Amino acid sequence: MPEQFTPATYHSICDKLAQLDPDLAGIINTYGYPPFWSRPNTFESLVHIILEQQVSLASALSALNKLRERIQEVTPARILLLTDAELRECYLSRQKTAYIKYLAEAIISGQINLAAFEQMEDDEIRRHLTALKGIGNWTVDVYLMFALQRADLFPVGDLAIVNAVKGLKLLPKETTKEELIIIAEQWQPYRTVASMMLWHYYLSKPRQTANSLKEGIK
């Protein structure tokens, strides 16, 4: 199974990255260590990540809280009991309603088994999840990073990460994602933790708020 990071190893990995990259060291020196962001390996967590596609964290959390109010526990069976109109009342778009229902059906049918993912390789998990409509690489990256604590993901589809790298390293706006991926190679095998440091930098800079942590693509 791919390497994971834990609360016990988190700061030591940050220190290793800081030794590799003076710019990452500057983040710790200026803003301290990043929070240990994590989520349980549950259907609700995947729903939450889908809701975060292309919107602010605040908007996604508002929709998730509406779902919680309506059905208490966000499970596949309870989601499928809701009509599209009821899901719209929970601030879900037509597209995200469809994506979340596809996911719920895949879990109920056994096509997707979140517990089994804990023993799978990253690429195998990605193949299973991206076979579902509405789940792309950004969603899988965030799931692997936050729910499974896989250590070596770089979510190049994440706008905050892209802007953080460009800002931290004083790169031109036209720097391509391919060039960013090459830059991130120096952080292997801990690109996830480097990404956490970059999110921390993005959030901690003046005039940034937690509402804009991630504006990812699917």
What would the pLDDT profile of 36-90 be if each residue is shown by its tens digit?
A: 999 999 999 999 999 999 888 899 999 999 999 999 999 999 999 999 999 999 9
Residue 55 shares a structural domain with residue 125: yes
Q: What is the pTM of this model?
A: 0.91
Number of domain units in the chain: 2
Let me know if residue 113 belongs to a domain.
yes
Residue 57 shares a structural domain with residue 138: yes
Which CATH number characterizes residue 115's domain?
A: 1.10.340.30
Let me know if residue 99 belongs to a domain.
yes
Spans of the chain, pLDDT less than 70 = 207-218
Q: Looking at residue 218, what is its pLDDT?
A: 56
Q: Looking at residue 214, what is its pLDDT?
A: 46
Residue 89 shares a structural domain with residue 118: yes
Residue 176 shares a structural domain with residue 140: no
Domain of residue 81 covers 43-146
- Token pair, residue 212, equals 């804009």
Residue 75 shares a structural domain with residue 120: yes
Residue 140 shares a structural domain with residue 173: no
Per-residue burial over 22-48, b if 16 or more Cβ lie within 10 Å, else e, is ebbbebbeeeeebeeebbebebbbbbb
Residue 47 shares a structural domain with residue 131: yes
Which CATH number characterizes residue 14's domain?
A: 1.10.1670.40
Residue 163 shares a structural domain with residue 178: yes
Given 146, 166, 198, which residue is the final one in a domain?
146
Let me know if residue 199 belongs to a domain.
yes
Per-residue burial over 146-177, b if 16 or more Cβ lie within 10 Å, else e, is bbbbbbbbbbbbbbbbbbbbbebeeeeeeeee
Residue 138 shares a structural domain with residue 188: no
Let me know if residue 5 belongs to a domain.
no
Residue 106 shares a structural domain with residue 137: yes
